[in-house]
Amino acid sequence: GLSRRVDRVLVTGSVRILPPEIEALVEDGGFVLGPFGGPVHQRLLKREKQGDEWIDTDLGGVVFGPMDLNESERSPLDPHSLADHLEDLLGLMSEVIEIEDDTLTRLEGLIISLRELPAGLPTLDEDSTEDEILEHPVMELLLMEMEWLGPMWPLFGDYMSVELANPGSPGDEEPGMSGGHEDLVP
């Protein structure tokens, strides 16, 4: 490991919490700058170490890809991944729109139920049959909640569809971005 201490750390992918081994590297008066939150929405925080305390300065909402690449490779029906997404959406949406108490309680209950599903559930892919999909424990749970969840699902879809762009990538349809800096010229 690293034995010297540092005064600045830049985190380049979303994290829920700063790993203790990184916290231990930061000297008193130093700071960490990074996107803290879940897969859909994070807050860009400047976390300054003052003695044993961390003082946070919120620099606004951001969207970064995950620091842990295993997080981005999880199945959309992975119960923990879906619970993380729903929890993020709940936080993000409650900042923007008013959500009824009953709906909030049900959504929090759904998040808990998803996290309580056993590990090792079958993974689904494009070759899965309709029966395999409908009988999957995560789908069964969602379908049981569809009466109240159904009207909210389009909102979730809008927020969950946040895709990180890769300007200049081979699949990029936008002209004029690769190799230039025209967007930075006043």
Residue 35 belongs to a domain: yes
54 and 33 in a common domain: yes
Instruction: Say what percent of the chain tops pLDDT 70.
Output: 75
- For residues 111 and 35, membership in a common domain is answered with no
Q: Report whether 18 contacts 11 (CB < 8 A).
A: yes
Specify whether 41 is located in the same domain as 80.
no
- Helices 101-116 and 137-144: crossing angle in degrees, nearest 10, is 160
Q: Which pLDDT score, from 0 to 100, does residue 58 have?
A: 93
Lowest mean pLDDT among 16-25, 42-51, 102-111, 165-174: 165-174
- The long-range contacts involving 66-71, CB below 8 angstroms and separated by at least 24 positions, are 66/13, 66/14, 66/39, 67/11, 67/12, 67/13, 67/14, 67/15, 68/13, 68/15, 71/39
pLDDT at 146 (0 to 100): 87
Q: How many domains does the chain have?
A: 2
Compute the average pLDDT of residues 61-88: 73
Same domain flag for 78 and 149: yes
pLDDT score, position 87: 84
Q: What is the mean pLDDT of residues 52-70?
A: 80
Q: By residue range, what is the domain housing residue 42?
A: 6-62
| Residue 165: inside a domain | no
How confident is the model over 117-165, as pLDDT tens digits? 988 888 877 788 888 888 888 888 888 888 888 887 777 766 665 544 4
Torsion-angle region of 168 (φ positive above 0: left; ψ -120 to 50: alpha; else: beta): left
Are 88 and 11 members of one domain?
no
Residues 35 and 79 reside in one and the same domain: no
Residue 174 lies in a domain: no
The domain boundary, picked from 15, 36, 62, lies at 62
Clarify whether residues 92 and 57 are in a common domain.
no
User: In terms of domains, do 25 and 93 share one?
Assistant: no
Span of 19-23, 49-53, 98-102, 164-168 with lowest mean pLDDT: 164-168
Instruction: Verify that 79 and 58 share a domain, yes or no.
Output: no
Whether residues 30 and 82 fall in one domain:
no
Confidence at residue 119, expressed as pLDDT on a 0 to 100 scale: 81
Residues 136 and 86 in one domain: yes
Could you read off the pLDDT of 163-179 as tens digits, one per residue?
444 444 444 455 444 44
